C-alpha cells in the first residue's frame, strides 16, 4: 500500500478533479456502520410515530412519517459524505418538505395529485406554523389522508436528519437515542388521552434503543482477556434486557405516578371558538312567532326529508345562562368541551335508533342573520355524521365546529341558500319514564337561578321527589297565557329572558309570555330542583317537511340517570290561542292629551340583530342615507383604525427621531462640531437613499464616491471651514447648515416619489456608524449599492441618483 503525504498531493488538474468527483460518488455508498445507525434510527422513529394511531383514522401517517425519516437520513448522509456545511442539511429538509408536501397531504389541491403550486406552498407554510394548534383543537381521529398528515412527515424529516447527523458525529453512544426520544415525547404530547398499545410501544422502544446502544458501545470499546466469547456476551445482554422489560411491565403499574392521567397538550389548548360572545338566537324568537311583525313568520326556513312529522328538529342548543340570556358554551371545560374542529367522524357511542335526515337550507334561514340561526347546523339529537352537498360543501366542511357536550354543530362561514346537509343523528327521547332521577350536576351556576328559589318553592308546593316538583312547576306554567307582545293591547309584554324580565314574568298578576320566557324559566327552575337542563330552539317538523317561521318553538332538555330527555313545548307552554285578558286602557283626564304607546324594547348591547345590521353594539343611528353613511364610516374606522393608527405612530416616530437628531446636530456644541455634524447629516441622507459609503475615506473621496455635485461642493465648503486659518464661527456654521439642507433636498430631487418616501423612513441612518455598511432590510424599494472604489462608483453611483 502506498502512503501519500498530504503535502505531496498532486495539483488539481482536470484529471485529478475527475477522480475526486468519482471518489466522492463512490463514498456515497453507505458503510455497515451507516446502515446500522440508519436502521436503528428508522425503527425507533417508527415506534415513536405509532403514538399517532388514535389521532388519525388510517395508518397512512406512519408510512408518510417513515418516508420523511428516510429522506432526512439521506440528506444528512449526503451532506456528511460531501462535507457540506451543516446548514445545507436544513436547506435540504426545507426543500424536501415543500417539494413533496403537496403530494403528501394536499393532493386534492395539487395538479396531478403531487405537483406543488403557489397555493399548496402557502398552505404548507401555514400548516408548519399553525397546523399544530389546529391538530390539537380538532376532535380525533382526523382524516388520515388530509392536510394534517404533513405534520408527521415534517417530524420525520427533522428527526431523520438530526438523528442521523448526531449518530454519525457524536462520540458518546448515549447521545444517539436523544433525537428519537424527543420525537417519542413530542408524539405523546400531540396525541390523545387514550394511547394505543402503550406498553408494547414502550417495550419496543426500550429494546431497540438498548440494542443500538450496545452496538455503539461495542464499536467504541473492544474487551480483551475476559475469557468470554461474543456469543456469551450477546446472550448475557439479551437475558438482562428481557428480564428488565418483563420486570418493568409487571411492576410498572405499582410505581409512583403510574395512576396519573396521561399528559397531552390538547388538554391545555383552549378551543378556538367560544359562542358565549354571540347573542342568543332565543332573544329574537318573536321574529319567527309574530305574524304582526311579518319578518319570518310565514317564510320557509328549511325543507326536511327522511324524518317523521312531529319530530323535534334542533336548531340551537343553549346550555349556559349568564343572568342576561341563555347562550351556547363549552360546558364545564376540559378536552372534550367547546366548539372544536372535528376529525373524519363525530365520536358517537349510540348505535340504535339513528335517523338520517336530508335538510335543504332555504333563503329565509340562510338570510336570517337578524335571527341568528344561519350558523347553526340543524339536527335531531345526538349527531354522528354531517355531510354537506353543493357548491359550498368544502368551505362548510372546513368551517364546521362541533360541541361534544351538547352534540351540536355550527359552521363559521354560515349556511347558504340551497345548501344540502345530510345529518345522521339519534333523536332525543321524549319519554322520561316513571319518576326519573336527576343525572349529573346542574349545567349553570347556582347564582344564575337563585332569584327563582322562592318561586320554585311556591309552585312545587307539597311535592317531595324531584320529578314531582318538576311536574308541579310544569302545570303552573301550562296554566299561563301566551303573548309575544306584538299585537295591539299586549305591547307591555316585552321580549327578553334576563333576570329582570323573568322576575317580572313570574311575579306578575298572571303568567304571560312567549316560548322564550316559558322555556328560559322552566330550564332555570329545573336546575334549581336538581335536573341539569338546557334550552333548545328548534321546530316540530310539520307534514310535508317544510319548516316555516311559525313552526319555530323552544323546549327544554333534562339530564336524568338514563340520559338526556326532551320536555316538549306542549308540556309546559300554553297554547298560542290562549291570550291574556286585555285590560282596557285608562282614558286620560285631559281630552286633548295623546295616548303614548309603550316604548320599543331596547336590545342588549352586542345582540345579534345589532351586529348583523353593521352597527356598533349599543348604537342606533337614524336619518336615512346619512345615517347609513355614518354607520359605514364607523364600521370602516372600527376595523381599519387601530392598524392605521399604529402605522401612523411608527411613521411619526421615525420622522420625529430624525428631526430631533438634525436639530441637535445643528444647535449643540461648538461651531466646529456643528460644521462636522452637518457632513454626517448628509452622509446619513445618502445611506437612507441606499448608497453605502465605506469608512476610512476623506470628505472629498466620499463625495467622489457619492457622485453628486451638491455633495462635492458641500465637502469643499466643510473642509474650508474646518481646516482654514481661522476657527469657524456661528455665522459660518449657519452657512454650512444652509448648504446641508439644500444638499439633502438635492439628493432626493432625482428620485421617484416612493423612493423619496422610503429614504425619509429608512432606519439605516439610525444605526451606529459601524453597522452602516451591513446589508439590512430597509424601506427603500431597490437594493443598495455597495461602493468599494471611485472607479466602480463612476459607473454605478451617478446613474442611481439620476435614474428616476
Query: Which phi and psi (to 5°) does residue 636 adopt?
Result: -65, -45
Vertex 584: Cα angle to 580 and 589 (nearest 5): 155
Predicted local distance difference test score (pLDDT) of residue 316: 92
Cα-Cα end-to-end distance for the chain: 69
Query: Which phi and psi (to 5°) does residue 314 adopt?
Result: -85, 130
Predicted local distance difference test score (pLDDT) of residue 564: 92
Task: Tell me how crowded residue 542 is: count the other CB atoms within 10 A of its CB.
Answer: 14
Predicted local distance difference test score (pLDDT) of residue 480: 95
Cα–Cα distance measured from residue 47 to residue 180, given in angstroms and rounded to the nearest whole number: 9
**768-781 as b/e, with b when 16 or more CB fall inside 10 Å?**
eeeebbeeeebbbe
- Stretches where the chain sits below pLDDT 70 are 1-25, 220-241, 243-262, 270-277, 330-337, 343-352, 368-371, 582-628, 631, 635, 638-641, 768-804
Task: Tell me how crowded residue 57 is: count the other CB atoms within 10 A of its CB.
Answer: 18
Query: Would you put residue 562 in left (φ > 0), alpha (ψ -120 to 50) or beta?
Result: alpha
Predicted local distance difference test score (pLDDT) of residue 245: 64
DSSP structure string for 388-450:
EESTTHHHHHHHEEEETTTTEEEETT---TT-EEEEEEEEPB----SS--B-S--SS-HHHHG
DSSP structure string for 38-102:
HHHHHHHHHHHHGGGGGTBSSTHHHHHHHHHHHHHHHHHHHHHHTT--HHHHHHHHHHHHHHHHH
Residue 264 · residue 193 · CB < 8 Å? yes
Q: Is 539 helix (H, G, I), strand (E, B) or coil?
A: strand
Is 647 exposed, middle or buried, given 0-12, 13-18 or 19+ CB atoms closer than 10 A? exposed
In which residue are the cell numbers 327578553 written? 496
DSSP code, position 778: -
182's CB contacts (< 8 A; 6+ apart) are 159
In which residue are the cell numbers 428527526 written? 159
Residue 555 · residue 568 · CB < 8 Å? yes
In 3D space, the residue among 102, 103, 101, 105 whose CA is nearest the CA of residue 93 turns out to be: 101
Residue 313 · residue 305 · CB < 8 Å? no
Cα–Cα distance measured from residue 418 to residue 303, given in angstroms and rounded to the nearest whole number: 10
Residue 112 · residue 105 · CB < 8 Å? no
In 3D space, the residue among 540, 622, 597 whose CA is nearest the CA of residue 573 turns out to be: 540
In 3D space, the residue among 365, 383, 381, 361 whose CA is nearest the CA of residue 373 turns out to be: 365
Q: State if pTM tops 0.75.
A: no
CA 484 to chain centre: 41
Cα–Cα distance measured from residue 230 to residue 218, given in angstroms and rounded to the nearest whole number: 10
Cα–Cα distance measured from residue 778 to residue 654, given in angstroms and rounded to the nearest whole number: 13
Following CA atoms 794, 796, 799, 804 in sequence, which dihedral angle do they give, to the nearest 10 degrees?
Answer: -160
**423-434 as b/e, with b when 16 or more CB fall inside 10 Å?**
bbbbbbbeebee
Q: How many helices (H) and strands (E) does the chain have?
A: 25, 20
Cα–Cα distance measured from residue 804 to residue 791, given in angstroms and rounded to the nearest whole number: 22
In 3D space, the residue among 453, 547, 537, 459 whose CA is nearest the CA of residue 503 turns out to be: 453
In 3D space, the residue among 600, 539, 604 whose CA is nearest the CA of residue 280 turns out to be: 604
Cell numbers found for residue 430: 321524549
Residue 345 · residue 384 · CB < 8 Å? yes
* Residue 141: cis peptide before it, omega within 30 degrees of 0: yes
- Is the dihedral angle over the CA atoms 735, 740, 743, 744 positive or is it negative? negative
Cα–Cα distance measured from residue 73 to residue 67, given in angstroms and rounded to the nearest whole number: 10
Cα–Cα distance measured from residue 469 to residue 622, given in angstroms and rounded to the nearest whole number: 49
Residue 493 · residue 502 · CB < 8 Å? no
Amino acid at each position: 500500500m502506498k502512503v501519500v503525504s498530504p503535502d505531496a498531493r498532486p495539483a488539481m488538474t482536470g484529471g485529478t478533479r475527475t477522480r475526486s468527483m468519482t471518489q466522492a460518488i463512490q463514498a456515497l455508498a453507505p458503510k455497515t456502520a451507516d446502515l446500522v445507525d440508519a436502521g436503528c434510527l428508522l425503527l425507533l422513529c417508527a415506534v415513536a410515530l405509532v403514538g399517532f394511531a388514535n389521532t388519525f383514522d388510517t395508518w397512512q401517517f406512519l408510512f408518510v412519517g417513515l418516508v420523511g425519516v428516510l429522506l432526512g437520513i439521506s440528506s444528512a448522509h449526503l451532506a456528511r459524505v460531501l462535507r457540506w456545511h451543516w446548514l445545507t442539511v436544513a436547506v435540504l429538509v426545507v426543500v424536501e418538505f415543500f417539494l413533496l408536501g403537496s403530494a403528501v397531504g394536499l393532493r386534492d389541491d395539487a395538479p396531478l395529485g403531487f405537483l406543488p403550486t403557489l397555493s399548496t406552498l402557502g398552505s404548507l407554510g401555514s400548516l408548519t406554523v399553525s397546523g399544530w394548534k389546529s391538530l390539537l383543537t380538532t376532535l380525533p381521529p382526523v382524516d388520515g389522508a388530509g392536510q394534517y398528515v404533513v405534520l408527521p412527515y415534517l417530524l420525520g424529516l427533522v428527526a431523520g436528519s438530526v438523528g442521523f447527523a448526531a449518530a454519525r458525529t457524536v462520540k458518546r453512544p448515549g447521545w444517539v437515542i436523544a433525537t428519537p426520544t424527543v420525537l417519542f415525547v413530542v408524539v405523546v404530547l400531540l396525541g390523545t388521552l387514550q394511547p394505543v398499545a402503550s406498553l408494547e410501544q414502550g417495550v419496543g422502544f426500550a429494546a431497540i434503543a438498548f440494542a443500538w446502544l450496545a452496538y455503539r458501545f461495542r464499536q467504541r470499546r473492544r474487551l480483551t482477556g475476559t475469557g468470554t466469547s461474543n456469543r456469551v456476551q450477546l446472550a448475557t445482554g439479551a437475558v438482562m434486557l428481557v428480564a428488565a422489560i418483563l420486570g418493568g411491565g409487571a411492576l410498572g403499574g405499582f410505581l409512583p405516578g403510574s395512576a396519573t392521567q396521561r399528559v397531552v397538550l390538547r388538554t391545555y389548548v383552549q378551543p378556538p371558538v367560544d359562542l358565549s360572545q354571540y347573542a342568543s338566537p332565543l332573544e329574537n324568537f318573536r321574529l319567527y312567532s309574530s305574524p304582526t311583525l311579518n319578518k319570518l313568520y310565514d317564510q320557509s326556513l328549511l325543507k326536511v326529508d327522511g324524518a317523521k312529522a312531529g319530530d323535534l328538529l334542533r336548531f340551537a342548543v343553549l346550555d349556559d345562562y349568564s343572568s342576561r340570556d341563555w347562550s351556547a358554551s363549552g360546558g364545564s371545560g376540559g378536552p372534550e368541551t367547546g366548539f372544536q374542529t372535528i376529525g373524519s367522524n363525530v365520536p358517537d357511542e349510540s348505535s340504535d335508533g339513528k335517523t338520517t335526515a336530508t335538510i335543504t337550507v332555504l333563503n329565509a334561514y340562510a338570510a336570517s342573520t337578524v335571527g341568528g340561526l344561519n350558523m347553526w347546523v340543524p339536527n335531531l339529537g345526538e349527531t354522528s355524521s354531517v355531510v354537506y352537498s353543493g357548491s359550498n360543501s368544502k368551505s362548510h366542511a372546513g368551517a364546521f365546529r362541533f360541541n361534544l357536550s351538547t352534540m351540536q354543530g355550527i359552521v363559521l362561514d354560515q349556511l347558504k341558500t340551497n345548501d344540502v346537509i345530510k345529518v345522521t343523528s339519534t333523536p332525543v327521547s321524549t319519554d322520561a319514564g316513571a319518576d326519573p332521577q336527576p343525572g349529573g350536576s346542574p349545567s349553570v351556576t347556582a347564582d344564575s337561578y337563585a332569584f327563582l328559589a322562592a318561586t320554585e318553592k311556591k309552585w312545587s308546593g307539597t311535592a317531595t321527589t324531584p320529578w314531582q316538583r318538576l311536574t308541579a312547576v310544569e302545570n303552573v306554567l301550562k296554566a299561563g297565557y301566551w303573548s309575544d307582545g306584538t299585537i295591539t293591547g299586549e305591547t307591555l309584554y316585552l321580549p327578553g329572558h334576563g333576570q329582570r324580565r323573568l322576575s317580572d314574568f313570574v311575579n306578575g298578576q298572571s303568567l304571560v309570555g312567549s316560548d322564550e320566557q316559558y322555556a328560559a324559566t322552566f330550564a332555570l327552575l329545573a336546575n334549581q330542583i336538581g335536573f341539569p337542563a338546557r334550552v333548545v330552539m328548534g321546530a316540530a317538523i310539520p307534514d310535508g317537511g317544510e319548516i316555516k317561521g311559525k313552526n319555530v318553538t323552544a323546549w327544554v332538555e333534562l339530564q336524568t340517570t338514563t340520559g338526556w330527555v326532551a320536555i316538549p313545548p306542549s308540556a309546559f307552554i300554553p297554547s298560542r290561542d290562549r291570550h291574556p285578558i286585555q285590560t282596557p286602557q285608562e282614558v286620560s283626564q285631559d281630552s286633548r292629551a295623546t295616548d303614548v304607546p309603550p316604548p320599543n324594547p331596547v336590545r342588549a348591547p352586542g345582540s345579534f340583530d345589532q351586529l348583523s345590521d353593521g352597527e356598533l353594539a349599543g348604537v342606533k343611528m337614524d336619518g336615512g342615507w346619512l345615517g347609513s353613511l355614518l354607520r359605514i364610516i364607523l364600521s370602516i374606522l372600527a376595523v381599519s383604525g387601530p392598524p392605521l393608527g399604529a402605522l401612523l405612530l411608527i411613521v411619526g416616530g421615525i420622522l420625529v427621531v430624525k428631526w430631533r437628531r438634525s436639530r441637535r446636530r445643528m444647535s449643540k456644541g461648538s461651531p466646529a462640531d456643528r460644521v462636522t455634524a452637518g457632513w454626517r447629516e448628509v452622509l446619513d441622507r445618502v445611506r437612507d437613499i441606499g448608497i453605502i459609503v465605506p469608512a476610512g475615506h476623506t470628505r472629498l473621496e466620499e463625495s467622489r464616491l457619492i457622485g453628486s455635485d451638491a455633495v462635492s461642493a458641500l465637502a469643499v465648503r466643510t473642509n474650508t471651514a474646518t481646516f482654514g486659518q481661522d476657527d469657524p464661527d456661528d455665522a459660518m456654521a449657519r452657512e454650512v447648515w444652509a448648504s446641508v439642507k439644500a444638499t439633502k433636498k438635492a439628493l432626493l430631487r432625482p428620485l421617484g416619489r416612493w423612493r423619496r418616501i422610503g429614504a425619509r423612513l429608512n432606519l439605516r441612518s439610525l444605526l451606529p456608524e459601524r453597522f452602516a455598511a451591513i446589508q439590512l432590510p430597509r424601506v427603500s424599494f431597490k437594493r443598495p449599492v455597495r461602493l468599494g472604489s471611485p472607479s466602480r462608483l463612476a459607473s454605478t453611483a451617478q446613474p442611481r441618483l439620476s435614474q428616476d
